[in-house]
Amino acid sequence: MNIIPFPQRSEWSALLARPVQATEQIEAAVAPILAQVRAGGDAALVELTRKFDKLDVTASGLEVNVAALDAAENQLSDTLEAAIRQAYQNIRLFHERQKQPVEKIETMPGVTCWRKSVGIDKVGLYIPGGTAPLFSTVLMLGIPAQLAGCREIILCTPSDHPAIYFAAKLVGVTRVFRIGGAQAIAAMAYGTESVPQVYKIFGPGNQYVTAAKMLVAKEGVAIDMPAGPSEVAIYADDSAIPSFVAADLLSQAEHGIDSQVLLVSTSKMILNSVNLTLTTQLSRLPRQAMAAQALKNSKMILLDNQEDALDLLNQYAAEHLILSVENAETVSERITNAGSIFLGNYTPESAGDYASGTNHTLPTNGFARAYSGVSLDSFVKKITVQHITPEGLQQLGPVVEAMAEAESLDAHKRAVSLRLASLEEENLA
């Protein structure tokens, strides 16, 4: 990786730009797929599955049967099954603690307001096939859906990996369909004869899946968040261990050729040391060609001081941010834009990707400036409730009347005035 020494602030925007995607061309390719599924239902899914996933299926074969889900556990090694179960426990515990008890607030005597959380009735999870079976994402999306009490949890994936099926059963997925790509997003967004329509769609995917999610969102189907290629930024000082930093960079780079990694430091020695060990570790990776391509989109940036480093990192707004620095927790308090933060030399991004407990479905492409990662809240709606007693209305009513009159909304005022008049008559009686 090339070291970029002491760039001017005026250069930062160009320096931190993500790889450009041909969004218009991708959407133009995806839109007909969405339209085909919307019009053709299961028949369209069969045709598109044969075309893109090379799977010869029938409409009745789109859904994975219960027997296949039940058999998946026996196809895993004891080690992997135990690992998945431990990850499930950790992720569930972290997300379970995100539940908030209902708190009734008396804003003034006789006026009580509160908020309750209600699980979204129908959610859809998408798990890509691609070059890696992302059963960990089934846990990350399925567990909060399970805790939220979503009535229907639909999973679409082109993969038949037993770990995906086992994880699906573990998190209480209602139905699983072997459908991939933009056509899977369309199926969940519009519904077909076999696939139920859902209210919100979650999950990663390639640029076509992402475009499909963005297009159906324009039509009123909720999605988890805008997404792009996965990324990591690392801030390292002289306390960092170069081999650890290199390993973290490569663990991100092996996701795909469009992944991006960024290393920021005030120490040229650290950057040089990381570069040396990076070359050595890359040569040993089974996915070295993919990782090497991703590194071409990546940068090492040398800055004068920590102030500049933190400003640059906040401007970048990384999906994953590793702070391999002294007093990492204190430094993290100055981070305002990041999807998830990893503190110190012994907190690799891989831990969050799999099993520490936090969710790995995070905002990319700079969206961490305004978006949070997936959490329990992503699967619930917050409904406010209020109750006003007669005494409360007598106190609050004049306030509402005055405001409604000032806005020239007479019916609003009348809705209060009639009640107040009724109460006055009762008091006189």
pLDDT of residue 184 exceeding 80, the answer is yes
* Residue 230 assigned as binding residue: yes
Entry pTM: 0.93
Question: Do 23-102+130-225 and 228-372 agree at the fold level?
Answer: yes
Tell me if residue 236 falls in helix, strand or coil.
Answer: strand
296-306 pLDDT tens trace: 878 999 999 99
Residue 174 carries which side chain, given as an amino acid letter?
T
Residue 365 marked as a ligand binder: no
Q: CATH for 228-372?
A: 3.40.50.1980
Is residue 255 part of an annotated ligand binding site? Answer: yes
Mean residue pLDDT across the chain: 95
Contacts of 408 (CB under 8 A, 6+ apart): none
The least confident of 19-23, 318-322, 362-366 is: 19-23
pLDDT band at 212 (very low <50, low <70, confident <90, very high): very high
Determine the longest span between alpha carbons in the chain, in angstroms.
Answer: 92
Is 197 annotated as ligand-binding? no
Whether pLDDT at 253 is above 90: no
**DSSP H or E segment with residue 423:** helix 410-428
304 is in an annotated binding site: no
> Does 183 show up as a binding residue in the annotation?
yes
- Average pLDDT (58-86) is 96
Give the tens place of pLDDT for each residue, 257-297.
778 899 999 999 999 999 999 989 998 888 888 888 878 87
The rounded distance, in Å, linking the Cα atoms of 111 and 284 is 67
Q: What is the pLDDT of residue 53?
A: 87
Token digits of residue 421: 């008049």
Q: What are the sequence ranges of the domains in the chain?
A: 23-102+130-225, 228-372, 389-428
pLDDT at 416 over 80: yes
Q: Is residue 275 annotated as involved in ligand binding?
A: no
Angstrom distance (rounded) from CA 289 to CA 402: 70
Q: What is the pLDDT of residue 288?
A: 86
Judge whether 412 is annotated as a binding position.
yes
Arithmetic mean of pLDDT, 140-145: 98
Please give the average per-residue pLDDT across 393-402, as a whole number. 98
How sure is the predictor about 254, in pLDDT bands with cuts at 50, 70 and 90? confident
Q: Would you state the pLDDT for residue 314?
A: 98
Contacts 24+ apart (CB under 8 A), 391-399: 391/109, 391/110, 392/108, 392/109, 392/110, 392/111, 392/112, 393/110, 393/419, 393/420, 393/423, 394/110, 394/420, 394/423, 395/108, 395/109, 395/110, 395/111, 396/108, 396/110, 396/111
CB 161, CB 135: distance < 8 Å: yes
pLDDT band at 356 (very low <50, low <70, confident <90, very high): very high
Nearest residue to 203 (alpha-carbon basis) of 268, 122, 263, 142: 142
Q: Which residues belong to the active site?
A: 319-320
83-88-94 Cα angle (round to 5): 130
Give the per-residue pLDDT at 207.
87
Whether domain 23-102+130-225 has CATH 3.40.50.1980: the reply is yes
Structural tokens at position 50: 């044969």
405 in a labelled binding site: no
- What number of residues does the chain have? 429
The answer to the question of whether 353 is labelled as a binding residue is yes
Q: Which amino acid is at 28?
A: A
Say what the pLDDT of residue 292 is.
84
DSSP string over 140-173? HHHHHHHHHT-SEEEEE-S---HHHHHHHHHTT-
pLDDT mean over 404-414: 98
Confidence check: pLDDT of 333 > 80: yes
Q: Among 227-231, 344-348, 422-426, where is mean pLDDT lowest?
A: 227-231
| Residue 347 pLDDT exceeds 80 | yes
